[in-house]
Structure 1
Amino acid sequence: MAVLLLLQRREQVTAAEVARELEISERTARRDLDALGMAGVPVYSRQGRGGGWRLMGGARTDLSGLTAGEVRALFLVAGPASAATPAVRTALRKLVHALPEPFRAQAEAAAASLVTDPQRWGSSRVEPRPPRFLDELQDAVIRGVQVRLGYVDRDRHETERTVHPLGIVAKGPSWYLVSHTEAGRRTFRIDRVSSADPTGDPVHRPGDFDLAESWRAIADEVERRRTPVEARAVCAPQGIGVLRMGFGDRLVVGGSTTDGRIEVVIRGNDEAILAGELAGLVEWIDVTGPPAVRDHLTSIGKMLVERYAT
């Protein structure tokens, strides 16, 4: 596809030019040009000085009719650049080089507009249907225009503000808009958006902004707020796998102690509940703090002894 776009844009190319533009060898470039002819594209080569590859009679294909919207769709279908394999990233880069100049910026913006985070928030089972204003907001991200956003918060209060859309995140079945606002960077759940009207004014996008890195920081902060209690413990090496299965991202594994055990931190949203989760792991862990979690463990132990001692 990239070779064909180059042919249509330049009318004639050499194998060396194709190789340089698409970062491939001349041998691969010749093979790909030959493959176009075998696929039925009317491409031919002219030998000698000033020669190269041309489309017969200035032939055009349906690719010549790509609109800016279709180019963006092509890059969106390829998936978010942050999650793409090296081969896909290379293919996207080659396509960008081959596109007409006016389309390149929006093609690159489309590839960078979305981050996919497959992990759900806790046990959330949000309806996976794409929210109402998803397409409009992603279009604003790609075109780089501000949006007058109507939003309903968790307390059902509706507000309106102008935001600078920076990216879209798919978190499990939920969708989020990452934006810059007068109050700083903010994240909005798209299923709570009540209106989205582009203003036409350009987005002020920080030069060092990276959507994937920004989302990791946002997700880490949300997790800290959801699980503000931290229990410290030391764990026998053979118990680390059990902790990983039980606590997932709530577990932070540290260094080894002098007796060969491993320091860990386990997060939870309530001291009593976290103590209950840890009580069944006494075979592997020794909780060292905080005192409130240890007190709850003591109470749990006493109740177990009273109920089950013979």
Structure 2
Amino acid sequence: MSKFSNLLRLLILLKSKKRMKTKEIAYALGVSERMIRKYMSDLAEANVNVESVPGPTGGYELVGYDYLLNLDIKAEEAIALQMATVVLKKSTNFDFKQQLENLNDKIKILNESCNQLDDYSDNIIIKPKSSNLDKEIKFELEIQSACISKKKLLIKYCSVSSGETERIIHPYGIITRNNFKYLVAYCENRKIKLIFKLMRITQVASLNDCFDIPATFSIKEFMKNNLGLFHDENYNLKLLIKHPFSKAISEGLYAKNQKIKWVKSETIIFEGQMSGKTDIIRWILSMGTSVTVLEPMVLKKEIKENLKQMLEII
């Protein structure tokens, strides 16, 4: 079959199977595993997000909205429909409330990008579910509207360090990482750009004042450099990774300046710069005895200490 046909079949397979290993896809398409990796590179160039998930149960999976049924609905259009649904549901003179709500649900299913489910981090680790999704979505529509209209917001935010505070912010956009939603915004109180976890926002009020996003600002680059509990710390990792994780890790992109070197048939040396100490430790521990931390020693010592504490608790 042609390359185009195989790419289309690959997307259909991932859509139906949810997650598949390289070997499974290669067998289904009748091509080599090397060709599958080439296909993945081609899809990435076309902005089709196929994620490589590490681990024994890992593989490739299609991330984001449905490319097979894409209606090319822009985020602004989907949000406008959501806002219209909310307003018209309160109206006493509109007879098609249920039909409009059904249409709104279908649009959200077909085009998940309206919820801006983009992960702009480099560290794709584990994706836990939020324990309270209601908190995350309570103010999302109003925040999304402010992002589009460039309107300032007055919010109350409950941070771990300083408790609940009132802030005036310039909302730039909402992104998702590890199934939690975050707002990237400029905070007038602290005079810097910050990341706010949506579920910690307790109150939102729209202001009449408008703002401009700096022309040089990129949410994608900002999230890569800042999202993480310890985003001010960067680690130059050097790991020895054995089977069964070596294959999956070699197929994915996890760090800046990443380098993969095969030292044996099923063993690799992984090198790269990563930020977010908590995420890094969780990722390393998820590989169990298949990984050895070669560098940095400070991180190796901290992981050992974590393991000792875990044993004491258990």
Structure of higher RCO (CA pairs closer than 8 Å, 6+ residues apart): 2
**Structure 1 length normalisation: TM-score?**
0.45
Q: Which has the higher helix share?
A: 1
Q: Which is greater in Rg?
A: 1
